Amino acid sequence: MTERDALVIGGKKLTSRFFLGTGRFPNPFVQKETIKASGAEVLTFAIRRINLDSPEDDAILQHLEDGNFTFLPNTSGARTAEEAVRIARLARAAGVGNWVKVEISANEKTLLPDPLETLKATEMLAREGFVVLPYTSDDPILCKRLEEAGAAAVMPGGAPIGTGLGILNPYNIGLIVEEANVPVIVDAGLGSAQDVVQAMELGVDGVLMNTPVAKAKDPVAMARAMRLAIEAGRLSYLAGRIPKKKYASASSGHEAYIVR
Partner 1 sequence: MEVVLNGERRNVAADTVSALIAEFGLGNKLLVVEIDGAIIPKERWAATRIGEGMKIELVHFVGGG
User: Which among 13, 32, 101, 217 is annotated as catalytic?
Assistant: 101
Consecutive H or E run containing 132: strand 131-136
Measured between alpha carbons, how far is residue 142 from residues 7, 75, 113, 255 in Å? 22, 19, 12, 53
Residue 120 falls in the annotated catalytic set:
no
Binding-site member from 50, 239, 256, 259 for partner 1 (CB under 8 A)? 50
Q: Of 96 and 165, which CB lies nearer to partner 1 in the complex structure?
A: 96
- How remote is the C-alpha of 122 from its chain's centroid? 17
Closest distance of CB 160 from partner 1, Å: 12
Q: How many chain residues interact with partner 1 (CB under 8 A)?
A: 37
Task: Mark the segment that binds partner 1 (CB under 8 A) among 55-63, 113-121, 165-173, 223-231.
Answer: 55-63
Query: Under 8 Å CB-to-CB from 115, ≥6 apart: which residues?
Result: 136, 137, 139, 142
Q: Which of 88, 154, 167, 188 binds partner 1 (CB under 8 A)?
A: 188
Side chain identity, residue 171: Y
Contact 130, 88 (CB under 8 A): yes
Residues 6+ apart with CB under 8 A from 138: 156, 157, 158, 168, 169, 172, 173, 176
- Binder of partner 1 out of 73, 134, 160, 183 (CB under 8 A): 73
Q: Which of 1, 18, 42, 45 binds partner 1 (CB under 8 A)?
A: 45
Q: Give yes or no for a contact between 101 and 44, defined as CB atoms under 8 angstroms apart.
A: yes
Residue 24 binds partner 1, judged by CB under 8 A: yes
Point out which residues pair with 14 in neighbouring strands.
Answer: 7
User: Using CA atoms, how far apart are residues 209 and 118, in angstroms rounded to an integer?
Assistant: 20
In the complex, what is the shortest distance from the CB of residue 56 to partner 1, in angstroms, rounded to a whole number?
9
Inter-CA distances, 191 with 11, 12, 49, 157, 165, Å: 30, 28, 30, 12, 6
Query: Of 137, 212, 210, 151, which Cα lies nearest the Cα of 183?
Result: 151
> Closest approach of Cβ 9 to partner 1, in Å?
18
Cα 49–chain centre separation: 25
Could you give the CA distance from residue 107 to residue 232 in angstroms, rounded to a whole number? 35
Per-residue x/- track, 98-137, partner 1 (CB under 8 A): ----------------------------------------
For the segment 148-187, give every residue that binds partner 1 (CB under 8 A): 161
Would you count residue 13 as binding partner 1 (CB under 8 A)? no
Any contact of residue 47 with partner 1 (CB under 8 A)?
yes
Q: Among 74, 105, 136, 198, which residue sits at the site for partner 1 (rule: CB under 8 A)?
A: 74
Candidates 84-92, 114-122, 140-148, 216-224; binding stretch for partner 1 (CB under 8 A): 84-92
Tell me the catalytic residues. 101
Residues that bind partner 1 (CB under 8 A): 21-25, 31, 44-50, 52, 55, 58-62, 73-74, 76, 86, 89-91, 93-96, 161, 188, 208-211
